[in-house]
Structure formats: structure tokens, C-alpha cells
Structure 1
Amino acid sequence: MTVWLSAWLSGATGLDHVLDALEPWGEAHDVLTADEPTATATGLPGPTDRPTSVTFLLAALRRMGGQQTRTPARLVLTAPGDIRGLPGPGQFSRAAIDAGEGVLLADLGYGMVPAALSDRLVRWTVHPVAGLVPGEEHTPLREAEHALREQVRRSAAILASLGVARHRPGVREEIADSLRSRPRSLWPDGMPPGSLRVLQNADELSAILTAASVDEPGGALSASAASARGEALRPLATAVRVARRAAVAEAVRAFAGSAGRH
């Protein structure tokens, strides 16, 4: 959503392409606002109203001047102890922390948080963002990619010393299945190749993290080993989040810079 919203606001893609790209993540996407003042300001349904569609969300953002935003959208990925990229306390920050993700529209003063209500339906809730929003933490893409590789090396060494998954056959198949089950990501024309590469690497490492976090049959891993495993995987999970944010931010900057050339 962050990338496609930025591409659409910059004029780099059409509405139908945005809707097609969201479909693998949910056959239907609807939109509500978190409170009545936000509903009044945006023209979108309030929390007790009938939800509207992403089409009306995009129209509302453009109507509010989204086409002239300096940074159309910012990806927010949070985890316990890692709330980088969030504005100060408020509705959006609380919702993004609970969900672990969100899209921040800093220049407009709003943020959106998705929730999977069923296998078919994803709901986007628009929250107000009060006060000043700190500038986005800029991590160069190459730096994020290097950190990702370094954390893989360190984590692999620690996990090997712990014997994680040594006695669990089929781990490679689990990782492959996890990647196959992930919805297919579609990207706008003009997506930077470096962003695509880093996002693909992050997806693969996320699948490895999931497989490495699974306990062996019979609970063979001791409590101390399980704790050491968690400590080994935590920096890698952080590196995956940082890499995804950096890759998306690079794409957003590319599309924002192309505004007016389409």
C-alpha cells in the first residue's frame, strides 16, 4: 500500500493497477475512519458507518492535496522495543504498535492501519496524527542490505552452535512452503531494482526466521537454548524490518521525485 499509494499520488500509475496489486493480500479491502472528526475532515465513513472502498480513500487523499505532498507515504513497522518511525503518542501510534505496521501520511496529518478481518477482507482504518511528526530515519539502501547480510552471518553461527533444527527434517521445505504461501507482491512500473532486491531478500529471511522459531518435536530445545535462540534471532528480525523500511522509502522517494513528469 505504501509504495502503490505513493506511485498513484505521483501520477505514475492508475487506480486499476493499485486495486489489482492489493487483491492478492485480500479479495476485498474497505476503509473506515477511527473517529467522527476524522470522518468529517476526510469525507470518509466514521467508525459506526458503512465502510467505503479504497477507491474513495485514494480520491479523498488526492482531494486533501496528496498530490503535492513531499513524502506521500511512509512505511511503519514496529515490534516490542522498536517504534522507530512513529509520531508521538496518539491514535495512530497505538494502532500501529498493536498491528505491528501502518502507513503514515505525515504531510496530511493522517495514518492508516490494516487489519485482516477474514481470509477475504482487509480493513484500513484512517487515524489522525496530532502534533509534529519527526523526520523519517534515513537508512541508505546499501547500508541496510549490508546489515541484513551481516546479521544473517551472525545469527547463523549462533543457531548452528545451538543445534537449532539439527534434528528436524524438512526445514528447507518449510521455508519454501512459507515463501509460496506468501501473497504475490506486485509492484508499479519504475520500482527501483535495488528496492525489489532488498524486499525479496527480506521475504526470504522472514521465512527463515519463522522456520527457526519453531520448536522441535517433543520440545527437545531446553529453556536456556530457546532463550538463546530468541536472542540470536531478534537482531535479524530488526534488520529485516530496517531493510524493508529502507527499500520502501527508496521507492517512495523515486516516485515522489517523478511527480509532474507523467
Structure 2
Amino acid sequence: MSMSGAVRAATTLALWSAAWRGGSSPDDVLTAIDGADQRAGVRAATDEIAVMTGLPGPGSPTAGSAALLPLLRAGGDAELLLPYPGDLRGLPTSGELTIAALDAGAAVTLTGSSLAVVPVNGHWRVFGNHARHPADGVAQAHDRLDDEVARATRSLTGMDVARQSDGARERVRQLMLAEAVATPPAMPRVASSLLATSISLQALLTVADSHDTNAVNLYQMAAVDDALRPLAIAIREARRAAVAAGVHALAGTRLRESR
């Protein structure tokens, strides 16, 4: 699974874990999770986690994705992590979890049970994780994203390296379709909107990062990278904020309806 596919899978798992706790049917939850291309099952990363969770351990055949449901129901709020070299917040400073999460570019911490779930080569691998990295609020993430989009636009325009083409637009469209997340029906509109924006901008960034620009030398290409790096971070944090807002609202659905 590509890194972008792993991010989509982890985003889906975090949102639908909250929907499951909020009253969604198990069939809907499993359809969404399996639809994120994680069909190879679930396995504990260590024998200790296998004993704790009842999941098959290292070297054993994976369990079906339904084995996630008890973990998600009891796991408390899900926290989406999008680690990259230089930012390991929410992960241990070293160890198998950190390596797997960095390779995938994503992980989901179940904060109530101190477990972390990582999409690895088409299956879910479950680790222990006591670290936390709360997301920004939606308004803060939105403002930061707006600021970085404006700054990157000014920088690229000033360098006269920005360029659009029919081919680039088509690649952006295809990436947006491929990375679209099937969100739960009760997802708040503000969270859905921010998530959609982050997916769209990530598609644009991916195409721009391929240097489909007028940059013709190493200096200009490095300047493009410098202009886009803060935007990439803002996009990650916007996705995390959107998911956090969604998790907060979705997990509370059952409680509100029972009053």
C-alpha cells in the first residue's frame, strides 16, 4: 500500500471507529474499513499485545477485520497521527511502532486503551502506544491552511515557476478520486469540508512536488520544495483537525440520542 493509501485507510478507521461507538451498524463500519483497501486482516504486533487483545500474534494468520470491532468499541476516542521524519509527536521516540508508522505515514491511536493501529501492507497491525498528540481545532487549522496556501502561491508566482497543464489537472483529479474518504453520514459539515479541502490540496501538492513546473535548475527546484514544505505540514494538520472534530461529534451520537 502506498503512503497516501495508508493515510486514507487510517483516516477511514479513525472516523468509523467513532461512528461505531456512536451507533453505526457493524456492517456499515466493516464495509467502510474494508473499502479502504485493508482486506488482509488484523494481527497484533507483539505476543504481549496478542494476549491483551485476543488477536493473533506475530507469525500467525491474520484475523478478519471484524476482530477490530471490540477494540474500536472499547478504545475510546481515535487520534489520527501523520508522522514524518522530524515530527514523531504522538509516537514513542523509537521502536517497531514508530518505524511502522513512519513507513506508512499514518497511525491511529485508540486513546482509551493505549493501542495504536497501523495500516501495513494491506492489513492492520496493532501496537501499544501511551503517547498522545492532540490535533488543532478546526478554526485554527483552517486559518493556518489559508495562510500557507497564500504564502506558497505568492512564493511560486514570484519565482515564476507555477504552471498548469491539462495533464497536471487530470492527475490532480485522479488523485482526489483515489484518496476520497467514505465518511460516516453523521460527520459534521465543518469537519467534512476541511477534510475535503485537505484531500484536494494534498492532490495538488503531490502533483506540484513532482516538479511539473517551469523550474529548470536545482536551485529553483529547491526553492519550490522550500515553498511547499510548510504547506504540506498545514495540510497534514488540517486533516488531523478534521478527523478529531469528526471523532468528537460521531462518538457522541448515541449518547445524545439516548437522552
Paired residue for 2:192? Answer: 196
Aligned AA for 1:105? L
Q: Does 1:206 align with 2:206?
A: no
Report SS of the residue matched to 1:28: coil
Q: CA deviation at 1:190?
A: 1.6
Counterpart amino acid of residue 133 in structure 1: A
* Alpha-carbon distance in structure 2 between the residues aligned to 1:13 and 1:166: 45
| Equivalent residue for 2:85, pick from 80, 85, 109 | 80
Q: Which amino acid aligns with 2:34?
A: E
Identity score, percent: 35
Deviation, 1:183, is 4.4
TM-score w.r.t. length of structure 1? 0.85
Structure 1 gaps, min length 5: none
1:2 aligns to 2:7 (yes or no): no
Give me the whole-angstrom Cα distance separating, in 1, the residues matched to 2:43 and 2:124.
6
In structure 2, relative to structure 1, the CA distance for the partners of 1:167 and 1:7 (3 Å cut) is closer
- Corresponding residue to 1:100 among 105, 111, 124: 105
Task: State the distance in 2 between where 1:93 and 1:220 align.
Answer: 35
Q: Which residue of 1 aligns with 2:126?
A: 126
Determine helix, strand or coil for the equivalent of 1:104: strand
Whole-angstrom distance in 2 between the partners of 1:36 and 1:48: 10
Looking at structure 2, the residues matched to 155 and 175 of structure 1 have their Cα atoms a distance apart, in angstroms, of 18
**1:235 to partner: Cα distance:** 0.4
- Aligned equivalent of 1:253, options 235, 248, 255: 248
Matched ranges for 1:24-43 at <5 A: 24-26=35-37, 28-43=39-54
Identify unmatched segments of 5+ residues in structure 2.
Answer: 1-12
Which amino acid letter does the alignment assign opposite residue 107 of structure 1? G
Deviates more, 1:27-36 or 1:190-199: 27-36
- Which is richer in helix? 2
Q: Is the 8 A contact 1:179 1:203 kept in 2?
A: yes
Q: CA deviation at 1:176?
A: 1.8
Closer, same or farther in 2 for the Cα pair 1:56/1:156, shift >3 Å? Answer: same
Say if 1:112 and 1:225 are closer, same or farther in 2 by CA, change over 3 A. Answer: same
Which whole-Å deviations, capped at 9, do the CAs of 1:93-142 have from their partners, x for residues lacking one? 33212221000012212101102x3xxxx21100122xx534x4341201
Instruction: Supply the distance in 2 between the matched residues of 1:149 and 1:81 (Cα, whole angstroms).
Output: 23
Q: What are the Cα deviations for residues 196-227 of structure 1, in whole angstroms up to 9, with x where unaligned?
A: 0001100110011011112349x962111111
Displaced runs of 4+ in structure 1, greater than 6 A?
A: none
1:158 maps to 2:155: yes
Asked if 1 retains the 8 angstrom alpha-carbon contact of 2:79 and 2:134, the reply is no
TM-score by length of 2: 0.86
